[in-house]
């Protein structure tokens, strides 16, 4: 235990020595004896006592009361007065200095001891209280939340700096005013005044919160969205002595919520609409058809489906390029809805194919509408630069009634009717009937089935490849190629994949084509690795269809191919499109995990063209995220495409994925994706696809 140090200030030396002797016997340490106020101040500064025993009357110009006032103000050392003078004026002067004790001479030893201990204890308590007040003040000052305190009559007693900033009131000006005047709140939508949570807390004795969408109206007429809670303050007896309200500015949160809400709305719109035309996409249209089928069964309604395939679209696309083709599709998409009712659904199914669901519309009426559409498109002129094009449309019309069995049959019937319209001269409407099925088979299914089966048997397919170069990634030494499929026709000409892939998907041949690609590629690679040795600096990206994703035997086939050709799994990166992944999410996730366990990597292709939801990425353990080229090719000129590309890249990186930009068609696009920090680039601006020939560099 530390010894208490005491300074004695007494001008009578005998009295001072007597006090000293008594105090030392009690265990105190006497730092010095002073006989004047000036000396008392000096000794206090030098010896730093814990307490000063101060005689009121002293030698010199300064009496004890004056000296005590200086000592307390300057050093905060507690004072106990010792005096024989007890007149009222002296006592009043001494009281004004807020002493910690007052002993009248003559006094007894135990009185002095008690006065000293009480003074020391009181000083200790007051120091703790002061520290606590300073601690509380520091907390209130440094808090990020605003704090307002009131008494039990709702009058302001405290505003911390944040509360001052938000309300526009200084504490000095607000002190004593009613809280309702300082804390003025209204509802954001109704503008009605909101009941004071402080008043409620004082009335009810419970914690009270604000309703949502509450706005604080500051003294400066600013409107600040806030949330808060008010709580009553009780004394030891349980009586309410006041209230405290804690609130915060949630402007940033509100802005973030609005951005998120807009983003969700945009993503929801993108999930159900075609990004090029703004019409409903295939997924949304099929859901509408499902609802129409249900209504025919449950309510006996009759609808009609028009399946439209533009005539001579390929001429525009081939003559003027994809930009012209896209613009033509946009103009057609703007024309179609104007010819139907608001209750009808117009969709782009893909490529130059459109569909219209005519709700509550029997076939006879639907035929008139379909023929009007045909005439409008026949009269339509598409102008691109110095060229004018005429187009037309072949329309397949199918009635939807209680006899319509399911969605797949309905779409097949519409497709067959459209094919019949196109096959019999184009620019016409063909109504589907049951006996049209033979025609559809003769001119459609059987032709493609025969051609594709022959191609598989005769190895008429061939492999192309296209480099994928590192832009912002660290692995510049890695040589990355996407393996592409082409078909060689009877004359030796190369048929692009979109000419036969839709048919292969439609007629159930895609899993066989996938197997042909893998078997052929692995055969080449197996020979290559035997000659060159295993080289981990190569990655070959192989596309997989939904049919392979859903094929229970595909994994077994793949393992056999790896074992047969001794291909290092790390050299193979499989790709599936976003649409395939979403449509077959569980199977896709399962297959990806199995392939990664083998050592392969995985890429999600055309991201942004389908549902565009980042949520499902969590369930797909992919390595690469390929940004849809329809965004990338316009990022130099279209701010929204730039923003979407940047967002996809950032999310991909946050999830630990490498990003690949497709359709990098020129140096300007390459520079822009480099600035965005995208890892890889692929497109005609990097290299056009070329026949896959294994060399030391491939």
pLDDT score of 682: 94
CA 388-394-397 angle, to 5 degrees, is 145
Alpha-helical runs (H) found in 143-250: 161-167, 171-174, 179-182, 197-204
- Cα torsion at 526, 531, 533, 536 (round to 10°)? -60
Mean pLDDT (the chain) is 85
635 vs 85 pLDDT, higher one: 635
276: part of which helix (H) or strand (E)? Answer: none
Q: Tell me: pLDDT of 551 over 50.
A: yes
pLDDT for residue 674: 93
- Structure token pair of residue 235: 């004394």
Output DSSP code: residue 348: E
pLDDT band with cut points at 50, 70 and 90 for residue 347: very high
Task: State the Cα–Cα distance between residues 333 and 315, nearest whole angstrom.
Answer: 18
Q: How far apart are CA 212 and CA 693, in angstroms?
A: 66
What does the alpha-carbon distance between residue 164 and residue 155 come to, in Å, rounded to a whole number? Answer: 16
CA distance 670 to 472: 11
- Residue among 16, 14, 83 at smallest CA distance from 43: 16
242, 234 in Cβ contact below 8 A? Answer: no
DSSP secondary structure string for all residues of 70-102: HHHHHH---EEEEES---HHHHHHHHHT--SEE
Inter-residue contact 104 to 94 (CB < 8 Å): no
Whole-model pTM: value is: 0.42
Rounded CA gap, 599 and 127, in Å? 69
* Beta pairing partners, 82: 55, 103
DSSP alpha helices (H): ranges in 147-232?
161-167, 171-174, 179-182, 197-204
Q: What is the pLDDT of residues 141-152, one digit of tens each?
A: 555 688 888 888
Task: Report the alpha-carbon distance of residue 28 to residue 19 in Å, rounded.
Answer: 11
Three-class DSSP category at 362: coil
Contact 611, 578 (CB under 8 A): yes
Residue whose C-alpha is closest to residue 485's, from 508, 452, 507: 452
% of the chain at pLDDT higher than 90: 34
Give me the long-range contacts of 82-85 (CB less than 8 A, separation at least 24). Answer: 82/10, 82/19, 82/53, 82/54, 82/55, 82/56, 82/107, 83/55, 83/56, 83/57, 85/56, 85/57
pLDDT over 50 (residue 471): yes
Span 618-653, pLDDT tens digits: 778 999 999 988 889 999 999 999 999 998 999 889
Per-residue pLDDT, 635? 93
319-335 pLDDT per residue, tens: 788 899 999 999 999 99
CA distance 32 to 20: 9
Residue 612 scores a pLDDT above 80:
no
Long-range contacts of 68-77 (CB under 8 A, 24+ apart): 68/94, 68/97, 68/99, 69/97, 70/37, 70/41, 71/40, 71/41, 71/44, 72/97, 72/98, 74/41, 74/45, 75/44, 75/45, 75/48, 77/7, 77/44, 77/48, 77/49, 77/50, 77/51, 77/52
Chain segment 410-419, per-residue pLDDT in tens: 888 888 888 7
- 544 phi/psi in degrees, rounded to 5: -120, 145
Q: Rounded to whole angstroms, how far apart are CA atoms 135 and 386?
A: 79
pLDDT band at 421 (very low <50, low <70, confident <90, very high): confident
159 DSSP 8-state letter: E
Helix (H), strand (E) at residue 232: strand 223-234
Q: Give which of 307, 363, 346, 351 is closest to 325, Cα–Cα.
A: 351
Is the distance from CB of 546 to CB of 583 less than 8 angstroms? yes
Say how far apart CA 75 and CA 52 lie, in whole Å. Answer: 11
Catalogue the E-assigned strands of 529-679.
538-543, 572-577, 601-607, 624-627, 658-661
* Residues 6+ away with beta carbon under 8 Å from 547: 505, 508, 510, 511, 514
| Closest by CA position to 480, among listed 407, 408, 537 | 537
pLDDT of residue 112: 83
Task: Provide the pLDDT for residue 442.
Answer: 38
CA 101, CA 312: separation in Å to the nearest integer? 108
Residue 529 has pLDDT above 80, yes or no: no
532 touches 696 (CB < 8 A): yes
pLDDT at 606: 85
- Which pLDDT score is estimated for 611? 46
Which pLDDT value is given to residue 290?
92
Q: Taking residues 98-125, what's their average pLDDT?
A: 81
For range 34-60, the mean pLDDT: 90
Burial of 19 (0-12, 13-18, 19+ CB in 10 A): buried
Q: CA-CA distances (angstroms) from residue 289 to 282, 346, 406, 419, 635?
A: 10, 12, 10, 20, 35
């Amino acid at each position: 235990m530390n010894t208490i140090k005491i300074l004695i200030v007494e001008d009578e030396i005998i009295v001072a020595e007597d006090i000293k002797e008594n105090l030392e016997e009690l265990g105190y340490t006497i730092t010095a004896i002073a006989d004047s106020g000036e000396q008392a101040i000096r000794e206090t500064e030098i010896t730093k006592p814990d307490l000063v025993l101060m005689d009121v009357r002293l030698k010199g110009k300064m009496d004890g009361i004056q000296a005590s006032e200086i000592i307390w103000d300057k050093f905060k050392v507690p004072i106990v007065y010792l005096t024989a003078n007890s007149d009222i004026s002296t006592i009043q002067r001494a009281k004004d200095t807020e002493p910690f004790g007052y002993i009248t001479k003559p006094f007894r030893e135990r009185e002095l001891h008690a006065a000293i201990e009480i003074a020391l204890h009181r000083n200790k308590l007051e120091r703790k209280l002061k520290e606590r007040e300073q601690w509380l003040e520091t907390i209130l000052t440094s808090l990020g939340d605003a704090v307002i305190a009131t008494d039990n009559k709702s009058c302001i007693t405290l505003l911390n700096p944040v509360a001052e900033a938000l309300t526009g009131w200084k504490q000095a000006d607000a002190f004593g005013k009613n809280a309702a005047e300082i804390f003025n709140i209204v509802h954001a939508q109704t503008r009605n005044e909101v009941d004071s949570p402080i008043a409620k807390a004082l009335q009810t004795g419970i914690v009270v919160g604000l309703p949502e969408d509450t706005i604080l109206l500051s003294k400066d007429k600013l409107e600040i969205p806030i949330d808060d809670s008010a709580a009553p303050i009780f004394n030891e007896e349980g009586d309410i002595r006041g209230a405290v309200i804690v609130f915060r500015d949630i402007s940033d949160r509100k802005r973030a919520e609005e951005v998120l809400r807009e983003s969700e709305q945009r993503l929801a719109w993108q999930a159900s609409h075609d990004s090029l035309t703004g019409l409903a996409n295939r997924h949304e249209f099929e859901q509408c058809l499902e609802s129409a089928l249900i209504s025919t069964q449950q309510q006996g309604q009759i609808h009609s489906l028009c399946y439209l395939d533009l005539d001579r679209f390929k001429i525009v696309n081939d003559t003027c390029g994809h930009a012209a083709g896209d613009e033509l599709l946009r103009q057609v998409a703007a024309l179609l809805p104007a010819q139907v009712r608001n209750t009808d659904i117009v969709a782009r199914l893909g490529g130059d194919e459109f569909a219209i669901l005519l709700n509550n519309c029997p076939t006879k009426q639907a035929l008139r509408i379909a023929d009007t559409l045909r005439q409008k498109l026949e009269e339509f002129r598409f102008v691109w630069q110095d060229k004018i094009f005429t187009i037309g449309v072949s329309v397949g019309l199918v009635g939807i009634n209680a006899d319509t069995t399911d969605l797949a049959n309905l779409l097949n019937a519409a497709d067959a009717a459209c094919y019949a319209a196109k096959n019999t001269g184009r620019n016409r409407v063909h109504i589907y009937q049951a006996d049209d099925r033979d025609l559809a088979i003769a001119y459609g299914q059987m032709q493609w089935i025969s051609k594709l089966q022959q191609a598989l048997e005769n190895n008429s397919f061939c492999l192309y490849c296209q480099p994928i170069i590192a832009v912002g990634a660290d692995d510049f030494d890695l040589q990355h190629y996407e393996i592409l499929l082409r078909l060689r026709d009877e004359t030796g000409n190369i048929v692009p994949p979109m000419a036969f892939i839709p048919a292969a998907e439609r007629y159930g041949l895609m899993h066989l084509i996938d197997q042909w690609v893998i078997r052929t590629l692995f055969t080449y690679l197996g020979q290559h690795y035997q000659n060159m040795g295993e080289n981990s600096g190569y990655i070959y990206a192989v596309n997989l269809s939904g049919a392979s994703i859903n094929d229970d035997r595909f994994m077994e086939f793949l393992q056999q191919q790896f074992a047969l050709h001794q291909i290092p799994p790390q050299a193979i990166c499989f790709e599936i499109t976003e649409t395939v992944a979403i449509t077959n999410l569980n199977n896709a996730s399962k297959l990806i995990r199995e392939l990664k366990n083998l050592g392969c990597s995985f890429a999600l292709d055309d991201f942004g063209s389908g549902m565009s939801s980042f949520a499902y990425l969590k369930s797909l353990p992919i390595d690469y995220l390929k940004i849809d080229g329809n965004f990338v090719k316009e990022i130099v000129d279209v701010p929204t495409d730039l923003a979407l590309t940047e967002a996809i890249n950032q999310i991909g990186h946050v999830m630990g994925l490498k990003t690949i930009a497709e359709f990098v068609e020129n140096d300007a696009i390459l520079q822009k994706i480099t600035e965005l920090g995208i890892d890889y680039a692929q497109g005609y601006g990097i290299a056009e696809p070329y026949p896959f020939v294994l060399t030391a560099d491939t």
